[in-house]
Amino acid sequence: MPPIGPQSNSSLRDNRTHRGAVGDFLKTEIQSGSHLSFVSAYFTVHAYEALASQLEGAAKLQFLFGEPSFVTGIDRGDKDKANFKLTEDGITIAKTLTQRPAAKACAEWIERMVEIRSIRQSNFPHGKTYHIENGNASSAILGSSNFTVPGLGLGMNSNIELNLVVDSDRDRKDLKAWFAEVWGDDSLTKDVRDEVLTYLKRLASPPLYEKEVRDALNLVRQLETTLTP
């Protein structure tokens, strides 16, 4: 892997400049035709958007939600609770206005090549895992970063995380075997792809608050015009 920051020989990725971001690791390692196995409590539209050029070129992604309340929120029709799981917290007005096309693109991508399952119970390990297969080679990173813009270190205000690049062939093989074991156990996980797609398509529709957002932008423009000499 190419160097990431001055301490490129470190296996740690904490989203700080001198050790590098998890998102940069994924951008480097995901290649055309990659097979991806991800575990995260959250999956957000804007994290997909930030990695879209890499993710769209992969062959397949199996995404495992490590948070059972995600599906509970959608099944209940609790839009606020479900929204927290698929969108960034505290996003800007500009990001809010671009959320619809991003959600639409994300849904289309999922329909083409993504499988999604969620764990059924709350005693699941809290670690996050990103395993990437490129033919006979593989790479992986394990730690605390959720699949969000701050978690992956892809935004201005990124989280400080603690992740470790898995550089042992044996450990990468064990990690993939563990993922396959959990993924294929119907007593531990269930398919939630349709629920995720339903909610993404809801996000892609004009939101109830769009008029308020546009009114706020128009007010800002009016103030700018008034204050301009």
pLDDT band at 216 (very low <50, low <70, confident <90, very high): low
pLDDT band at 126 (very low <50, low <70, confident <90, very high): confident
Contact 153, 161 (CB under 8 A): yes
pLDDT at 9: 79
The residue among 53, 42, 55, 39 whose CA lies nearest residue 89 is: 42
Summarised one tens digit per residue, pLDDT across range 52-107 is 999 999 999 999 988 665 544 444 444 444 433 566 655 554 555 567 888 899 99
Contact 70, 28 (CB under 8 A): no
Tokens of 14: 């904490």
What is the Cα–Cα distance from 6 to 104, expressed in whole angstroms? 38
Map out the domains of the chain with their CATH numbers. Answer: 12-227 (3.30.870.10)
pLDDT at 107: 93
Taking all residues of the chain, what is their mean pLDDT, rounded to a whole number? 82
Contact 100, 206 (CB under 8 A): yes
Please indicate, yes or no, whether the overall pTM of this predicted structure exceeds 0.85: no
